[in-house]
Structure formats: C-alpha cells, structure tokens
Structure 1
Amino acid sequence: MEPEMFEALTPVSQMLARNLDVLTRQPLLVCGLLEDNLPALLADAGPAPRIFTTDFRYFQWQKSQGMTEIEFGTHPQPQQAAALLLLMPKAKAEAEYLLAACLPLLAVGGQVFIAGDNKGGVKSAPKLLAPYCDLVNKLDSARRASLYQAEIIRPAEPLVLSDWQKGYALEKEQLQVCTLPGVFSAGHLDSGSRLLLDNLSPLKGRVLDFGCGAGVIGASVLKRQPELMLECIDISALALEATRLTLADNQLDANAKIYASDGLSQVSGTFNHIIANPPFHAGLKTFYHTTETLLTSARDYLLPGGSLTLVANAFLPYPELIEKSFGHCDTLAVNGKFKIYRATRR
C-alpha cells in the first residue's frame, strides 16, 4: 500500500483541526469517509478516539500505525460511546446506514458531529439527524467543508442489517442480487458489468473475483459453472456482506470463499482466472492505484495459461500496463463507455 495515500490531512480534517476543543471534550467514535490520520490528531488533543471503518485498506493502514482502537466490519461492536463523529461518505444512503449502525451506542444527551466536503452531501446533515435530534447547529465552515453538531434527543433502535438489504433480479442469468448501502452496482446492474458478463468465455478451476461488490460477477460465473472454486475479495465490509448474501440467496455459496483483501495483499496461491470490474473512485477522488497494482502484479497470481479479464472505462490507459506485464493485451468488446480487456500468462 502506498503510505502517502493517507498522510496528508484532507481539507475536512484541516477544518476539524480548528474545532478540536469541542470535538475532544469526550471520547469520540469516528466513522465514515476516513482518508487521513485524523485519529492521531484527535488523540493528541484529547481522549483517544475509537474508530469504526468499513474500509479494509484504511483498517490495515491504521493498524500498521499502531492504532489499536479500530474496528473493521459492517457495524461497530456494541460498546457504549459518548459521542459520534461521522465523516460524510459519498453516498447519502451509506451515511444513513452508518448513523443507524452507530447511534444506538449513544445515550440520550450524547453528541453527534457530522463533517464533510460541501460538495459531498454534508449539507444534508440536518435532514439526516432529524429522526434523532431536534436542533442541528452548524459549528464551522472552512476549506469548502462544514461541521454540524447536534444532541441525541430520541434514542436510536438497534441496527437490523436485513432492514438495509435491497436487491434486483438479473433475468438473463436468473439471479437475485442482494445489495447494501454504498456498495457498487447497488440499485441495478451497471453497463460495464453487463458487457463483461456477456463476453466471458467458459472458465475452469480456481477463479478470483477482484473487487466483488454485490457479488454479481461471482454469482454469474458460479451459476454457469457450479464446479468452479471461487474466491471473492473487496476492501469494503458492506460489499463482502452483500456478496455473501447474493451467493447464499442463490444457493451458490458452497464453493465460494469471501474475504477482505487490500488489492492482492491477502490473496495466496495462484488462479486459473482473475476477473475484475475494478474501482477507480475512492470517496470523491478518482483513484487508480489499486487497479494499476492489479495489472502489474496479476501475472504472478496466475497459473501458466491463466487469464486476467477486466472491464474498464474506455479512456483509461490500462492496455499499456497490461501489455507491459503480460506482453500482450486483447480487447474483447467495446461499447460507448467501456472496454473488456483480456491477457493470458504464456
């Protein structure tokens, strides 16, 4: 992992640094779009915060920094918290989910803070907090970011994960896809995944679904070929849970292994095939590092004759990286926005 990814304080954290006297009056539970070492900033100014993240990459990085009060998963452990700081995620539905997951840990009178980029939905904080709070104050606005504060008036009900589960049908594959807030391809099948599924050749042996999201690709290949040994990886705890739900609901989970991995870091052994609809957005930023690392290192995780197949936005310069690693790159299909690339370890 590139350490510089998290080292510079974001504009949101720079704004929060002006409010440490308010934020550190009580130990904070911090969740949401964690992109820097804000926890250390808070710990230096007051009680060490407790961090909850659905992002495995951030979890791994903080652990490497010596952070012990950090949890990775779909929801925090049921230990009472004095106050909550939510860093506004990109998707409003994910913000609603994180509040529902964390606010049950606060007693009436507990403080809630929401901070975020002004273009990232933070202005919806009063509406997000309306079910729990009567008065929401705007404490600060700087560096195109804002901070809101409120007091819990009405206790939140315990989280029931199934209440947040949605889904849709893939008629062509005869599959039911299960999704959770903030998971890619949550409301419908994206056109890139459709193009990929329509251009996949029959597979064999051990298959890796890289960046599994809601489990669409993994479920589709297992539906076609139940004998495959499938492994699904993602950095999002919510994506991993959505994949589990998708595979289980379609009775396809017997031959599947689902686990968190930062790129290929937690993967072991070699595969017959790696299939990916990789991300290129992290939060509000365009982010290519994970995919570029995949393209340059995938060959080492493939058996001789094994293949890498991925879908990518047509404008991205991925063929050059694939050619550099594999010696060739085939374009299997193109639509208006996406291309399907394939390379084989020779």
Structure 2
Amino acid sequence: MADTALNLLVEELRQPDGRRLWIVDENIPPQLLPPQPNTQVIGNRFDLIRAMRQQGWNAELSDFDLSQWPASSLEKLIYRVSKEKAVVHHLINEAARVLRPDGELILIGDKGEGIKTYARKAQQRLGGSKEEQKQGSVWRVTVSLGEADSALLDDQDYPLLRDFQPADAELYLTKPGLFGWNKIDRGSAFLVENLAAMTGQALPLEGRILDLGCGFGYLALNACATSAALTCTDNNAAALIACRANLNARQFTQAEVIASDAGDSLEGTFDIILCNPPFHAGFGVEGDLTDRFLRQARRLLDSNGTACFVVNQHIPLERKARGLFARIHCHADNGHFKLVQLKEPVNKPQ
C-alpha cells in the first residue's frame, strides 16, 4: 500500500466525526494508528482483526457483512478500495443503505486500482455530491448520500454462496471474496492426483489431517475421508464460510474449521498436512507468506507425519524448508507447479 494512501487514510481517521465504520482488508497494516473514538472496524482478515483488537480497536472479523447496521445508522463509512471489484461494488451498495441522509462514503485508492471509476459509480449510487482530493496518483473521494439510486451496482451477489460444478467434478459452494473462487486451482488438483504416492495411503485419507490455508476446502473435500479427524484453517472470512458450508454438505462429521494466520492459533499435531500456500497479499506479492506456512507446518506436524505442499515452480520452497525439516523431497514437477514432501520437523518450538 502506497505511503500516500496511508497518509490520506490516517488524516481521515483522525477527524473528530460521529459514528463511523472503517472497512479494512489485507491492504491495511495493523499498526496504522491508535484506536480512534466512535470508530468501529470490520475486516475479512483474521490476522489483521486480531492485531487491531489487541491494540484496543472495536474490530470484528466479517466477510464485509454490514447487515447488523440498521438503515441510516452511520454518519461515515471509510474504505480503502479492495482488489476485487465485487467487494467494492457490494460495499458501495451497502453504503447507500447504512448511511444517514447527507452521510459520507470516503473512498481512497490509486488511479491504477480503479478509484476514479469507483468514485463515479459511488456518486451515481448514492445520489449526492462528490469531492475529490488528489496526491500524485492517489485519490481521496468523498461522496455524500442524497437521493440514492435504486439500481444496485453489480456485486455478483457478493454475500451469497453459490454452486460451482466444473465438468466431470463434484459440486462445490463458493463465493466472491475468495482467490480463484470460480475455478479449480491447478496446483491443488496436481497435489490431489499425487497424494496417495506422497503419503503412502490410498485416498481418501484417514487420521489427523490439517488443510492449512483451506480456501473453500478443495483439498480436504477431495483427499480426506468424511470420518477423518480433519481441521481446516484459513485467514480469510469468506474462505471460512465457504469451507464450513462444503464440509457440512458433504457430511464431514469430525471436521472443524478454525480461523488462524497460517495456522498459528492451532493446537496439537497432525499426521498429514496439506498446503497450497498463497503468495499474493493485497495488491502485491508478500515474500514471507510461504515462510510463515512452513514454520507453522513444522510446529504442527507430528514427528512421524508428512506435510505435502504444492507451490508455483518459482517458489524456493526446498531452500526455505532447510533447518525446519530433516527430510525434504521434491516429489513431482509439471513445469508449472512442484510438489514437495516434508518430514521429520526439527528444532520445534516448545
């Protein structure tokens, strides 16, 4: 996130306004500024919301669900635009409902992130005045609520789970707000195809299994027995909702879904860990995400267990895993993705 956008956001949050809501996602650093009065926070990232709560913010983990706020209940909604258009449209639509007459929607973003288009759409939807402040390529736009347009922006029915059934495959429940929500990840499919050989077990897998960074649950749903002692975890609120729904629909009776940052809030150990770690964060690439997943895999893997990772070919997973696992083996490489088997965690934290 550009320093200019951060500065504009901090300026806005320090204004002595009435009741307001600040929408946060992965583009917001947790140590941005101390808690501000009359400000409630919602965000879809577990790690960010946990950090803000620890600082004293009134913060709630949510898949951008504003249904708890009655109509015309907020004076201001502050939002640094997200990466996904459906999310932005959804929140502009909701602003028209939850803002009081003459209440304000504050949008902050870079020109390359579509801020100008979002500002135009927000004014059309809210029906009030628009003020713009520009610093370099970053804009802060204030749109007031007037006579709101009844025509909703196309948010792809953002709050709703929907069926997704690829050709010759099972039905899944998924939604916008998840990375790759309407497709099967090729890396995950490659991992499932090779899991029997990697684990030495025929599918479906039994035992204590962890899907680390579960998304909507593709790995767990395709690799695990419904009776397995299965734990699925993710940092993203939409992923947690979709994964719970899919596990319930498939009758995974022993499964649990837990919010965590790369598994850091989990306890116990697992016989098998399945992981397709993300490496994108917000508008950019975050290099230490893979490291965080590896460190937690070392902590959570049983001494006799197997961790099965799939990563893009350019991720140096084997090098990153040195010093964390005694046995590191590249099981397969298809030219796009590689499968890495990790065993015998070493120097485990107590």
The aligned residue for residue 148 of structure 2 is: 154
CA distance in 1, matches of 2:191, 2:240: 20
- State the shift of 1:117 in Å: 2.5
Q: Distance in 1 between matches of 2:41 and 2:335?
A: 41
Matched, 1:139 2:132: yes
Contact 2:107 2:142 in 1 (8 A): yes
Q: Which amino acid counterpart does residue 28 of structure 1 have in structure 2?
A: R
Structure 1 window deviating more from structure 2 (136-145 vs 201-210): it is 136-145
**CA shift for structure 1 position 70:** 1.1
Distance 2:279 2:234 in 1: 13
| 1:91-118 residue CA offsets vs partner (Å, 9 max, x unmatched) | 1112223344565322333211111122
8 A contact 2:262–2:296 mirrored in 1: no
- Partner Cα separation in structure 2 for residue 266 and residue 335 of structure 1: 33
Tell me the TM-score normalised to structure 1 length: 0.84
Which residue number corresponds to residue 243 of structure 2? 243
Q: Which residue of 2 aligns with 1:340?
A: 339
Pairwise CA distance, 1:311 = 1.1
Q: Report what 1:324 is aligned to.
A: 323
Deviation (angstroms), 1:278: 1.0
Distance in 1, matches of 2:13 and 2:300, equals 46
Matched, 1:30 2:22: yes
Alpha-carbon separation, structure 1, partners of 2:21 and 2:61: 13
Q: Structure 2, unaligned stretches of length 5 or more? A: 346-350
Q: For 1:52-131, list aligned pairs within 5 A.
A: 52-67=42-57, 69-74=58-63, 75-76=65-66, 77-78=68-69, 80-100=73-93, 103-129=96-122
Q: Which moved more, 1:89-98 or 1:147-156?
A: 147-156
Match of 1:206 in 2: 208
The correspondence for 2:184, drawn from 182, 186, 189, is: 189
Counterpart for residue 227 of structure 1: 227
Deviates more, 1:141-150 or 1:25-34: 25-34
Q: What is the CA-CA distance between 1:177 and the residue it aligns to?
A: 1.8
Q: Deviations over 1:286-308 (max 9, x none)?
A: 11323202213422312232111
Task: Give the corresponding residue for 2:274.
Answer: 275
> How far off is 1:192 after superposition?
1.4
- Aligned partners of 1:29 and 1:244: how far apart in 2? 27
Contact 2:227 2:252 in 1 (8 A): no
Classify 1:65/1:293 alpha carbon distance in 2 versus 1 (closer, same or farther; 3 Å): same
Question: What is the letter of the counterpart of residue 166 of structure 1?
Answer: R
Q: Secondary structure at the match of 2:79?
A: strand
Q: TM-score, normalised by structure 2?
A: 0.83
Q: Deviations over 1:114-161 (max 9, x none)?
A: 11122223233135425632356252121432112212232889x998
